Copies of this chain bind each other. A is one copy, B any other.
Amino acid sequence: MQIIDGKATAAQIKAEIKVEVEEMVARGQRPPHLAAILVGHDGGSETYVKNKVLACEACGFRSTLLRFEDDITEDDLLSQVAMLNADPEVDGFIVQLPLPRHINEQRIIEAIDYRKDVDGFHPINVGRMAIGLPCYISATPKGILELLRRYDIETSGRRCVILGRSNIVGKPMAQLMMQKQYGDSTVIVCHSHSRTLVKECRQADILIAAIGQPAFVRADMVKPGAVVIDVGTTRVPDATRKSGYRLSGDVDYEHVAPLCSYITPVPGGVGPMTICMLMQNTLAAARKTYYSL
């Protein structure tokens, strides 16, 4: 059994990006510039955005954080998005989700210029990904593809079972894993209404769990030798931790890990890759890899 070390892989990728940025700067170009909009003071969002800013520093990017209070109006937020769209010094930007309830998230996402949409949430990027065109692929599925690739895990023609059908993980993961240029797998998508979920899991060569239910995948649901990718990151109360909680994956790691050929731990698996893929997308934005502006 080999543990897929997302933390080390992410560090390596950031080091690779840093070298590329240094080369850009040496050629007289400005470094990539990522902007982030953060509304309110949600603890999780604060942490994510802070980590994104730190990752920018690690990669040699410029970063800008725009903070607004919870009571910002939708129109004001749209104006901020329009300003970032128009700013030639900003290569890509994100609006940290979730947003306060009085703001229509989808409307904000669709207001972002898709050519700067490094989160890959704009329908144009979602659609282009679905039909296999170059585009920003959202960070979590992109990070999983990168882990599979860097660990040289064969996916072509194998059974890849995906648990969960969310817009940010399950669905795009399914679309990528079925495409010839990415996973080329037989793809099976299971969700809360699937009658044969346990049976599908037992026949998975690659099992990607993204349902947000701690320890949902038990040892008796995993085929010996399977590759298990755990996307779950649920905060579970834990009095022994300073923070008062620990992160739990969707997989019963203790009992499942011994059965696997490869497995991602939580934390330290898929999580660290996510921000790192945002950095890759920002580098691609600065280079105009997918779109010219």
Contact = CB atoms under 8 A, between A and B. Distances in A.
Nearest to A128: B123
A125 B131 CA distance: 11
Contacts of A188: 186-189
Given A191-B178, A193-B184, A197-B186, A123 B127 contact: yes
A186 B196 contact: yes
Contacts of A202: none
- Which of A127, A128, A191, A194 has the largest number of chain B CB atoms within 10 A? A127
Given A127-B126, A171-B178, A189 B191 contact: no
A130 interface: yes
A235 interface: no
Contacts of A190: 186
A127 B133 contact: no
A62 interface: no
Nearest to A195: B157
A41 interface: no
Interface string A113-133: 000000000111111111111
Contacts of A234: none
A174 B178 contact: yes
> Which 6 pairs across A and B sit closest by C-beta, in order of nearness?
A127-B127, A123-B127, A126-B127, A186-B194, A157-B193, A157-B195
12 contacts: A106-B133, A123-B124, A123-B127, A123-B131, A127-B128, A130-B167, A131-B167, A132-B167, A175-B175, A184-B193, A186-B197, A188-B189
Given A184-B193, A187-B187, 11 more contacts: A126-B126, A126-B131, A127-B127, A127-B130, A130-B172, A132-B167, A158-B195, A165-B180, A171-B178, A175-B175, A186-B196
